[in-house]
Amino acid sequence: MDCTTDGGKGVCEKHGVSGYPTIKYGDPDSLQDFDGERSYEALKEFADTNLGPSCGPANLDLCDDEKKAVIEKFLKMSTGKLEAKIRKAEGTTAKLDADFEALQKTLQDRYTKTEEKKKAAVADIKEAGLGLMKSVLAHRSQNGEKAKDEL
């Protein structure tokens, strides 16, 4: 789907598509992120083993006992209670995302400042004559002078 068009923007936002290319799969109401390799062979293997009918309320026969029990628990809930649980889970996920983004911004700012300090310090070292010291040492070595240990 093209997430840059009017027809695709809403769907992409609904499913949390923020980078391109993004591959999602599964039930259209509960898409999962694909995080495997993107080679043809890997995608084909994934499609052959994972795409098609899958465990869910419409295909309980494809579920293991554990997932079947969870789905049956959700099926017994009222619509209002189920919607409230979904809102709570999505709110928690949104908070985790926001916290992560804030930390990431802090780390990026710290990285940028540290990188600038490092570049300035390296420039100071070079400005203080590192290159000339290396040239003098190489000149001495070429003229047969041996290194002497300093005490």
**Residues of the chain scoring pLDDT < 70:** 1, 20, 149-151
How would you class 88 by CB atoms within 10 Å of its CB: exposed for 0-12, middle for 13-18, buried for 19 or more?
exposed
Dump strand ranges (E) for 16-90.
24-25, 32-33
Residue 77 near residue 85 (C-beta atoms within 8 A): yes
Closest to 28 (Cα-Cα) out of 43, 15, 44 = 15
Number of C-beta neighbours around residue 62 at 10 A: 13
87: amino acid identity, one letter: R
pLDDT digits over 105-125, tens only?
999 999 999 999 999 999 999
Distance CA(89)–CA(87), nearest Å, equals 6
pLDDT digits over 57-69, tens only?
989 999 999 999 9
Which residues face 25 on adjacent strands?
A: 32
Q: Provide the pLDDT for residue 23.
A: 82
Where on the phi/psi map is residue 20: left (φ > 0), alpha (ψ -120 to 50), or beta? beta
Distance CA(89)–CA(70), nearest Å, equals 15
Residue 33 phi, psi dihedral angles, 5° rounding: -80, 135
17: amino acid identity, one letter: V
Q: Provide the pLDDT for residue 150.
A: 60
